[in-house]
Amino acid sequence: MRVDEYVRHDATSLAGLVERGEVSSDALVECAATAAAALNPQLNAIVSPIDVGATPTAGGLLHGVPILTKSGHGRRGGPAGAGSRLLAPLYVREDDIFCGRLRAAGVAFVGATTAPEFGLYAVTESQLHGPTRNPWDLTRTPGGSSGGSAAAVAAGIVPVATGGDGGGSIRTPAHCTGVFGFKPSRGRTPFEGNYLFNISVNHVLTRSVRDSAAFLDVTQGAYPGARYRTPPPAGPFAAAAATEPGPMRVGFATALPGFARADPECSAAVHGAASVLESMGHDVTESSPSVNWAEFFDAFMCAWTHSLPWTIERAERLAGVRADAETLEPMTLRYMEHGESVTIRELLEADQVFRRVTRAVDDFFASFDIWLTPTAVSEAPAVGAFDPAGAEESAHEYSMRVLRDYSAFTPLLNVTGHPAASVPIARSSRGLPVGVQIVGPACDDARVLAVSGQLENAMPWRDRIPPIWAGTRHEEGGR
């Protein structure tokens, strides 16, 4: 198989080719290695050369599909630290539950993608690895914290890469790079690193909705010790993604009153999606949950930083290295200081805010079936605009700037636990991808995937190719 053939298949298609004996897993891995060697010097999305000796577990629905894991994910042999000099020498000894389920599905783990320090940032820039760049425009970021994964998938190096989403870290990179990014419901997939607030989830970034659904099918489900357990799905998510959802009540919004408003390009994308859904027979109305956004984001800042001092103390003991300006980003040190200042009273007050906003979103879904918003306030920012090593503000000032100017629309759903996806249905006047966020009722991942699939059919994105793309190169891959 040549690379220009490989890159035109999604993971579902590649798994079918392997199952039918039309191509070997080794050939697919070789294609990924060829693509990475050609493109990664420009993108800086992968932390080491592709493992051409990667051997998939026999059998499984996704046998032979090459994937990358985000740095910091619990994949045996992968980097233990996400973009941090403090943990740079350490590697994961055993798969966590999420990566174990992926391995059992038969994927070929071929390497790891870049991530910012501890996954804290909405861009993928670190002193350890430098900036990761967007295949649509090398002066732009692919977002964060799953920016390396998004860039690698958008460029065609692999069809799928893992991501973690604690405030939009799957959805905003998907928006920046023109891929599909789905944040499952809280508890749908294993995430063993959560602390008090359990705002983070694991999943993948893909080029197609059906791939995201297929990977959700093989990773979803409760596990021993899980704090949250979602109801099992009525059927396979892959089937839901291919099913017409029927008439729905759709609410949409392009602003968070009193806090942020999407720029004209991102706003237009939402109006475009709303118009398409209306033309399909859905009832579409401008509406939003009733949320005090300034209060919410102040509470989110407490949740975001409260556990960081404890996390860094554990990392120091693990690495045997002191956490200081030589091993941590300047902004991480400020985040740590902010976390040290958070009181128990403030955490309890944040929890009350989170209960109120969760009730507000649930009340909204008593009247609506889907909520549409921009995925982000603006298109992909310039590299360096939010560099954690270059910003001079306080941790709070930096975070509020990132939120108001870029990533305000995603964190709410991490707190409430509702499923949400970014669909790459539009492009800006600069030619950059623009995503629209689809949010569903509590635990209704199937509905979000069904609507995403409906929009994918009506407003297809598979043929939108970035300038930095493996398919424009015709080097031979494996046979």
Q: Classify residue 231 by its DSSP letter.
A: P
Closest CA to 122 of 162, 166, 68, 158: 166
- According to DSSP, the β-strands at 249-252 and 370-374 are parallel
* Annotated active-site residue in 25, 70, 146, 399: 70
Indicate if 208 belongs to the active site: no
> What Cα–Cα distance (Å) separates residue 120 from each residue in 32, 125, 198, 305, 369?
28, 11, 15, 9, 32
Closest CA to 113 of 216, 18, 212, 40: 40
Which single residue is written with the structure tokens 């407003």? 459
* Ordered alpha helix ranges (H), 183-327: 209-219, 237-241, 264-279, 293-305, 308-319
Could you say which DSSP state residue 9 is in? Answer: S
Is it true that the peptide bond before 25 is cis, omega within 30 degrees of 0? no
Residue indicated by tokens 């732009």: 140
What is the per-residue burial (b if ≥16 Cβ within 10 Å, else e) of 109-123? bbbbbbbbbbbbbbb
Q: E strands of 260-408, at which residues? A: 260-261, 283-286, 370-374
Residue 185 annotated as catalytic: no
Q: Helices 330-341 and 308-319, interaxial angle, to 10°?
A: 120
Catalytic residue chosen out of the listed positions 149, 169, 399, 422 = 169
Q: One of 25, 71, 84, 145 is an active-site residue; which one? A: 145
Q: Give catalytic status of residue 183 as yes or no.
A: no
**C-beta atoms surrounding 261 within 10 Å:** 16
CA–CA distance, 121 with 124 (Å, rounded to integer): 7
Catalytic residues: 70, 145, 169
